[in-house]
Chain A
């Protein structure tokens, strides 16, 4: 069959590549979590559950919990900023809209590392932010701005915010703003109209924004490494430490499995909630 042959020829290159370099390596992570390390930084022979059992230690729970809440807070802040921003861009005149959109995207053409570095020098003990805060009496010269959880969340927000703005804007652009005006005419206050009419109308954009920020935030490694201190380590840092410092690959695998589960949990939860929510709404619409 000519058509079948054509399909196979076109599919094979990418299919085999991703099988070899994506699917098999991902499955390997699960397998290696049950192998012992060897003294030369490689993978030993035989099987063990010692590595997995070691994860129950208190130290890892603290880090896993911190990873979750730091990512959740970052996502919440991104959403709180992206909603009004996306709304404002969508309501601008078409010409200004493109300009504003470009202005949101442009700073993110710079390298990710350089953006993190820029904040490192801004928050430096002798950097400009510190000086202004001290001048205004908002901070004492001793207050550290770097190497803490607040710095990690601030910089994560900086790097992820555009990814939250874009899907919200995309949804808001398709939204019929006459609905908001109608709500206002009927006596709703601006915030009420925003919450009860606009927000449900762009729900899909909000869901995308949450996932697009939350998932990479959970896997953060560079930001806590460069602007966080020892008390703001996340799962990503621990994984890197096991790889580069201790050279214990099975342990790094076990931690990666935890991270995979942490990523899957919100993904499945949101998919589940969405499916549950969609049904009654369809009925409502039919009834109305």
Chain B
């Protein structure tokens, strides 16, 4: 009996649909033409121009500073949260805690952006890099908590009790038992928080105020004002960076797995 080939045809078309726009964008970043209408020869001029744009690099620096601090803080908050949720799963407090962690994930970004803006305006907090940081931590905590919680699911808490019975203090237990076992979860959570912070536009746009600029905000205003070839070049650079990072992390985790197995 022959299987229908329709699903495989749809799959192929979907993959073409996914890759074609990105591919054309990369090709066009090397196109000498200003409007990308037709190929007018290979050129690196957009990359040269890109390196002269001081505003973009300032925005990139802001993005990086925010992303690193957001990753650190949300890692601490997310991990303590996951430990509490795992260890004391059935109490009423934890049920409410879980709802609080889970709900931000299903709320559309724009609602989170507007509510944070209202809160900052009502409390008289001046908008800027600080408010962006506070907003980013708020949506990253949930992701980190759930990733670490997933890792804890196959974690036997008896090990911690055993360590304590054997005389290990609170700090020694955390450092020698908990941390090594949680390391892959923490790394995955950190990577996720970092990526989410770097990529966020909607929430950032609402709480940024007029002065502060991150890379997505800069890209948005470039799109709005029609700096097309520059965005092509910038996108290609970001794309390369993402692939290198992901490739490296994939490699690292594979090596880790092999070490663990031996």
Question: Which residues of A are in contact with B by a Cβ distance under 8 Å?
Answer: 6-7, 10-11, 13-15, 17-19, 21-26, 28-29, 32, 42-43, 81, 84-85, 87-89, 91, 100, 103-104, 107, 109-122, 124, 126-128, 158, 161-162, 165, 181, 184-185, 190-191, 194, 211, 215-216, 218-219, 221-222, 226, 236, 239-240, 243, 249, 252-253, 256, 259-260, 263, 267
> Would A10 and B83 count as touching, CB distance under 8 A?
yes
Beta-carbon contact of B18 and A104 below 8 Å: yes
B residues contacting A by CB (< 8 A) are 1, 3-4, 6-8, 10-11, 14-15, 17-22, 24-25, 28, 35-37, 76-78, 80-81, 83-84, 87-88, 91, 93-94, 97, 100-101, 103-104, 106-112, 114-119, 121-122, 134-135, 137-138, 141-142, 145, 195, 199, 201-202, 206, 216, 219-220, 223, 228, 231-232, 235, 238-239, 242-243, 246
Q: Say whether B145 contacts A14, CB under 8 Å.
A: yes
- Expressed in whole angstroms, the Cα–Cα distance for A161 and B80 within the complex equals 34
Let me know if A256 and B94 touch, CB within 8 A.
no
Query: Which residue from B37, B76, B94 sits with its C-beta under 8 Å from A126?
Result: B37
Question: Once bound together, how far apart are the Cα atoms of A107 and B83, in whole Å?
Answer: 33
Whether the Cβ atoms of B14 and A113 lie closer than 8 Å is no
In the assembled complex, the Cα of A181 lies from the Cα of B3 at a distance in Å of: 9
| Subset of 5 A-B contacts with CB under 8 Å | A11-B94, A21-B137, A21-B138, A25-B116, A128-B24
Instruction: Give the chain B neighbours of A185 by CB distance below 8 A.
Output: 1
Which B residues lie within 8 Å of A222 (CB)? 201-202, 220
Q: Are A10 and B80 in contact (CB under 8 A)?
A: yes
Contact assessment for A190 and B4 in the assembled complex, using a CB-CB cutoff below 8 Å: yes
- The distance in angstroms between the C-alpha atoms of A112 and B235, with both chains bound, is 11
Contact A21 B119 (CB under 8 A): yes
**B81, A118: Cβ atoms under 8 Å?**
no
Q: Are B21 and A256 in contact (CB under 8 A)?
A: no
Q: Could you tell me if A7 and B135 are in contact, using CB atoms closer than 8 angstroms?
A: no
Which of chain A's residues have a CB closer than 8 A to the CB of B6?
Answer: 84, 190
Choice from A18, A161, A216 contacting B100 with Cβ under 8 Å: A18
Q: How far is the CB of A264 from chain B (nearest CB, A)?
A: 10
Given A25-B118, A184-B1, A253-B118, CB of A121 within 8 Å of CB of B25: yes
Give A29 to B120 CA distance when docked, in angstroms. Answer: 12
Contact (Cβ within 8 A) B135 A21: yes
How many residue pairs bridge A and B at CB < 8 Å? 228
Task: Find A252's partner among B11, B107, B114, B116 (CB 8 Å cutoff).
Answer: B114
In the complex, are the beta carbons of B21 and A158 less than 8 A apart?
yes
Chain A contact residues: helix, strand, loop or mixed: helix
The 3 closest A-B pairs by CB, nearest first: A219-B108, A14-B81, A25-B115
Q: Which residue of B lies closest to A180 (CB)?
A: B3
Contact A84 B18 (CB under 8 A): no
Whether A107 pairs with B110 at a CB distance below 8 angstroms is no
Contacts of A10 in B (CB 8 A): 80-81, 83-84, 87-88
Question: Complex formed: what's the CA distance from A28 to B4 in Å?
Answer: 54
A158: chain B residues at CB < 8 Å are: 17-18, 21
- In the complex, what residues of A have CB within 8 A of residue B219's CB? 111, 113-114, 117
- Please, which residues of chain B bring their CB within 8 A of the CB of A165? 14
Measured CB to CB, the nearest residue on chain A to B19 is: A107
Report whether A43 and B135 are in contact in the complex, using a CB–CB cutoff of 8 Å.
Answer: no
Distance (whole angstroms) from the CB of A98 to the closest CB of chain B: 12
Residues of chain A within 8 A of B81, CB atoms compared: 10-11, 13-15
**Inter-subunit contact A219/B109 (CB<8 Å):** yes
Residues of chain A within 8 A of B231, CB atoms compared = 114, 117
The residue on B at minimum CB distance from A17 is B77
Q: How far is the CA of A24 from the CA of B18 in the complex (A)?
A: 39
Give complex CA distance A118, B119 in Å. Answer: 34
Tell me whether A109 and B118 are in contact in the complex, defined as CB-CB below 8 angstroms, given that A118-B21, A122-B24 are known contacts: no
Minimum CB distance partner of B21 in chain A: A118
Q: Which residue on chain A has the smallest CB distance to residue B20?
A: A122
Q: B114: which A residues are within 8 A, CB to CB?
A: 29, 239, 243, 252-253, 256
Task: Determine whether the beta carbon of A26 is less than 8 Å from that of B238.
Answer: no
Closest Cβ of chain B to A252, distance in Å, is: 6
Whole-angstrom CA separation of A21 from B112 in the bound complex: 9
Chain A residues whose CB sits within 8 angstroms of the CB of B17 once the complex forms: 158, 161
